[in-house]
Amino acid sequence: MPTTAVRPWPDPGPLPRPHDLAPGPRLWLVRAPGPDVAPDESVLDEEERRRAAALRRPADRALYVAAHVALRRVLGGCLGVPAGRVPLTRLPCPGCGGPHGRPAVAGPAGAAVHFSLSHTGGLALLGLAARPVGVDVERVPDVGLVRDAAGALHPAEQEELAALPEAERAAAFARCWTRKEAYLKAIGEGLSGDGLGSAHLGTGPEPAGLPGWLLDDIEVPPGYAAACALPGQGRTGPQSGAPESNASRPAASSVRQHR
């Protein structure tokens, strides 16, 4: 099955410039530093530092900082500006028009470089693209969470899950959920709209086709699932010149947007 290549962060290779994003998205997996390494918050803005400080668990705080520092360094390298000076904003919500839509680069550069960021228990996924993009990574949930949350999915997806042996439902649910979150982030809606139940993206090994959209499962470590979505024709596929790492196809679970 075609997948989008994902690289580890820090990335030893050159960071992409805006024209490098035309063939498809660039993705990075980010892990938090060990407990003996103090998080480097020097490039974060005041709001990011406030959000980091509000996280009670040190591991969550360390991952948040690592993910947002990676985001700023990738964007800074792409745009040719210092990481701490990358201007970030929120686009208007497509549902209500409020200032809590898809996160974006402020100003003219935001039309050429789009990003998405997701983090969950110990792992973060960062995506850059030349058009609106959504990524999501989640832990594979326990059976109880699947049972509680499955009712929010499309009726056909609920039927697919019900037809599976119980031992296979958690992984199938995680595949479906990350596809949904990635798609909803790309359109700027997040989980506030009705996309969870209205869009059929499937629970099987390959995403169900969604007209006008590219959707790929991303390989991540065992116990997680991840997906990437963006508008366009055909599938995203690996970028030429961007080698696939051992972390680039399906394997996750929770509920959030530009976390």
Dihedral-angle region of residue 188 (phi above 0 means left; psi in -120 to 50 means alpha; beta otherwise): left
pTM for this prediction: 0.86
pLDDT in tens, 3-23: 468 999 999 999 999 999 999
Task: Check residue 106 and give its pLDDT.
Answer: 96
Residue 129 contacts by C-beta under 8 Å, 6 or more apart in sequence? 21, 24, 25, 26, 114, 115, 230
Q: Which residues are bridge partners to 137 per DSSP?
A: 226
pLDDT in tens, 104-157: 999 999 999 999 999 998 999 999 999 999 999 999 999 999 999 999 999 999
Is residue 209 scored above 90 in pLDDT?
no
Q: Tell me which of 109 and 253 has the higher pLDDT.
A: 109
**Strand 6-8 and strand 26-31: pairing?**
parallel
Average pLDDT value for residue range 65-92: 96
Please name which of 9, 30, 252, 55 lies closest in space to residue 124, comparing C-alpha atoms: 30
Rounded CA gap, 169 and 185, in Å? 24
Whether the Cβ atoms of residue 217 and residue 203 lie closer than 8 Å to each other = no
